[in-house]
Amino acid sequence: MKKYILLLMGLVSLTAIAQKDPVISPEDLNGIRAIGSPANPKVKVYWNKYSDQAEITRICQDLAKAYPELVKLESIGKSVEGRDLWVMSISDFKSGNADRKPGFYIDGNIHANELQGTEVALYTAWYLAESFQTVDFIKQLLKDKVFYVIPTINPDSREYFIKSANNPHSSRTGRRAFDEDGDGLTDEDKLDDLDGDGNIVMMRRKSATGRWKIDCDNPQRMIPAKQDEPGEYEMLGYEGIDNDGDGLVNEDATGTYDPNRDWAWNWQPDYVQRGALFYPGTLPETQAIKAFIKKHPNIAGAQSYHNNGGMFLRGPGAAEDDPFYDRADVDVYNFIGKLGERMVPGYKYFVIHKDLYTVYGGEIDWLALNRGVFTFSNELMTSYKLFNDKAAAERGSNQEFEEFDKYLLFGDGYVQWKPFKHPQYGDIEIGGPKKNYLRNHPGFLLMEDAHRNMAFTILHAQQMPKLEVIEVNNKDLGGGLTEVTATVINRRIMPTHSSHDVKYKIERPDYITIKNAEVIAGMIVENEDFNLTKEQKNRPEKLEIRNIPGMGAVKVRWVIKGKSDKAAIEVDSMKGGVVSKTI
């Protein structure tokens, strides 16, 4: 009997929850659910593979269909070859106007061979939607903020990388064709998949004068012969033939540019910054994204996923732009970046031009310095992940990838060397890493790293401003006048305007407005104890505040006619959202 009662009670409470939240599946409430993951998601996705455009479209559409109050899908334009650039807006659409909440922008895959940015972006959208009902933190997050997620901003070249023959480093570009030598022809001499296996690997040839040899410990690997030792092979580069008979192999491939050099901050031409085109925004993808971001001035934080090396990168891309990052802004980045190093083992917090290389006209700089958006770019995947350890030697001479392939991938990472008859080189051998090895995560590491990097980005997003009117004091000034003093606090570390934004007035000021009151005067209180104020003569009811600092507050004051009992105070900040309080 007692058992029954217990069972009954259990049933009742289960039913109660189920009635309260019909969206939560029973599996999500019992022991099959692994903590941190939805056990029975409405939208089924395998996170140990890469998605092509059709699958990306399916996931986006399914999420929008399954969670109409959380996920809205739109296409913001088309790529060069006419594919949709999908944006998912993710927020609790039932509470407040989503486009007026602090917004966080996420994209991935601007470099098309860097596939997994897309998967991290998709995972984030999926996780947020599927966890909304079960994880209170996420529920609050989506109440406060909106996420704009573009899984791939280079869909043409992604499709080309996935569906056509490539090597790990090829197809970084987009697919717009340019005539490289002025002869009116494009794509005259591309990479050639000699054996038709979808991978472009290396070519080697036995040679009496060659300076390369096979690594005895690791026959897959070619190493340079010692200085005083004869070699056995010469290396002939990536698989290819001289298609146009000009004595050069693979010299004229489609789209030899860099979409991440197409952005309008300190843009420089190709001879200064390799990969640049005519002007920033030559590509339709760049134009579409810029238009979207300009249309959403509520975007306060951004993440653009790349691979590889395990880095949280912040700008600037060029040393001469360092002065645009002052202490206060750098402090925000430092907080997130340093915490990130703990959240994602093996990843380092870096500055692009100092720790990586100089980049002019990069997307990160445009977001951060033209739009005033706090922006990180994560370089996903690092050899640290292979054995959860730092590489024993420099990249190029380390053996982690070969060893990992041998013990954990059972040889799946490489095309084994095999003979081939080449039209120009004669008898050669071809072999080497498959296109999805080295830079893109092996399947079983993908989901873990997607989650960790998403968590880093959620940390970043959560620190976007959160404003609150915490205190309103009324003082009778006599003569029928009341003095109303209000304090507005920002409960996060990100200010409503970066210092850089304040300096160049990128975004309009925040407005703190008193409503339903006849205002005689309005002022910003600079120091309440010493009664230092700054009056705003024009439109005193709508006070213009240059910035509400991170974890800081501003105080404003009005002198109004009569009593303030009907008045309300509204804070309207582009990047901080809209909040109000009735007195």
Partner 1 sequence: MRTKLLILGFSMFFSCLYAQNTYNSHAAITSRLKNLATKNNASGSVQSIGKSSGGKDIWLFTLSKGEAAKKPGVLVVAGADGKHPAGTEINLLLLEKLLSLPADSLSSVLSSKTLYFVPALNPDALEQVVNKIKYARSGNATSTDDDRDGQLNEDPFEDLNGDGLITQVRIEDPTGNYILNKKESRLLVKADPSKGEKGKYLLISEGVDNDNDGEFNEDGEGGVNIDQNFTFDYPIFEKGAGEYQASEPETRAILDFLYKSINIHTVLTFGLSNNLSEAPKFDRMKTNKRIVTGILEKDALIGDFVSKMYNSKTGLKDAPAMPQTKGNLTQTAYYHAGRFSFTTPGWWVPKVEEVKDSTKKEAPKPVVAKKEDSSPEADFLKWADKEKIDAFVNWTSIKHPGFEGKKAEVGGIAPYLMQNPPVKYLDSAAVKHQRFLAELLKAMPEVQIVNPKVESLQNGVSRVTVQVLNRGLLPTYAEMGDRVRFVYKVKTEVKLANGQSLISGKKTNYRGALDAGEVIEYSWLVNGKGKLTVEAGCPTAGIQTIELNIK
- Provide the binding-site residues for partner 1, judged by CB under 8 A: 181-183, 245-247, 264-265, 267-272, 278-281, 294, 366, 370, 504-509, 537-538, 544
Q: How far apart are CA 576 and CA 102, in angstroms?
A: 5
- Asked if residues 490 and 481 have their Cβ atoms less than 8 Å apart, the reply is no
Least distance to partner 1 from the beta carbon of 538, Å?
4
Least distance to partner 1 from the beta carbon of 188, Å?
11
Q: Which is nearer to partner 1, 60 or 283 (CB)?
A: 283
The percent helix, strand, coil of the chain (3-state, each to 5) is 30, 25, 45
**Residue 281 φ/ψ region, left for φ over 0, alpha for ψ in the -120 to 50 degree band, beta for the rest:** left
| 330: Cβ contacts below 8 Å, ≥ 6 apart | none
Least distance to partner 1 from the beta carbon of 116, Å?
30
Span of 95-103, 106-114, 216-224, 335-343 interacting with Zn ion by CB under 5 A: 106-114
Q: How far apart are CA 394 and CA 414, in angstroms?
A: 21
**Residue 80 φ/ψ region, left for φ over 0, alpha for ψ in the -120 to 50 degree band, beta for the rest:** alpha
Residue 183 binds: one of partner 1, Zn ion, none (C-beta under 5 to 8 A by kind): partner 1
Q: Give the position of tokens 């909040």.
A: 579
- Asked if residues 139 and 469 have their Cβ atoms less than 8 Å apart, the reply is no
Q: How far apart are CA 330 and CA 62, in angstroms?
A: 39
Question: Does residue 460 bind Zn ion (CB under 5 A)?
Answer: no
Q: Which is nearer to partner 1, 194 or 253 (CB)?
A: 253
Q: Give the position of tokens 């005259």.
A: 188
Q: Which is nearer to partner 1, 360 or 417 (CB)?
A: 360
Residue 366 binds: one of partner 1, Zn ion, none (C-beta under 5 to 8 A by kind): partner 1
Residue 309 binds: one of partner 1, Zn ion, none (C-beta under 5 to 8 A by kind): none
83 HSE (CA, 13 A, CB side): 23
Residue 212 binds: one of Zn ion, partner 1, none (C-beta under 5 to 8 A by kind): none
Least distance to partner 1 from the beta carbon of 295, Å?
12
Residue 506 binds: one of partner 1, Zn ion, none (C-beta under 5 to 8 A by kind): partner 1
Residue 111 binds: one of Zn ion, partner 1, none (C-beta under 5 to 8 A by kind): Zn ion
Q: Which is nearer to partner 1, 182 or 426 (CB)?
A: 182
Least distance to partner 1 from the beta carbon of 259, Å?
16
Q: Which of 306, 492, 500, 557 binds Zn ion (CB under 5 A)?
A: 306
- Asked if residues 378 and 305 have their Cβ atoms less than 8 Å apart, the reply is yes
Q: Which DSSP string corresponds to 132-182?
A: TTT-HHHHHHHHH-EEEEES-S-HHHHHHHHHS-B-TTS--S-S----SSS
Q: Which is nearer to partner 1, 271 or 530 (CB)?
A: 271
Residue 281 binds: one of partner 1, Zn ion, none (C-beta under 5 to 8 A by kind): partner 1
Q: Which is nearer to Zn ion, 438 or 519 (CB)?
A: 438
Q: Give the position of tokens 């202490």.
A: 327
Q: Which is nearer to Zn ion, 377 or 533 (CB)?
A: 377
Residue 270 binds: one of partner 1, Zn ion, none (C-beta under 5 to 8 A by kind): partner 1
Q: Which of 83, 101, 111, 555 binds Zn ion (CB under 5 A)?
A: 111
Alpha-carbon distances of 131 from 27, 139, 450, rounded to whole Å: 13, 8, 15
Please state the φ and ψ torsions of residue 83, each to the nearest 5 degrees. Answer: -85, 150
Q: Which is nearer to partner 1, 232 or 570 (CB)?
A: 570
Least distance to partner 1 from the beta carbon of 531, Å?
24
Least distance to partner 1 from the beta carbon of 146, Å?
21
Least distance to partner 1 from the beta carbon of 244, Å?
9
Distance of CA 110 to the CA centre of its chain: 10
Residue 246 binds: one of Zn ion, partner 1, none (C-beta under 5 to 8 A by kind): partner 1
Please state the φ and ψ torsions of residue 407, each to the nearest 5 degrees. Answer: -90, -30
Q: Which residues bind Zn ion (CB under 5 A)?
A: 111, 114, 306
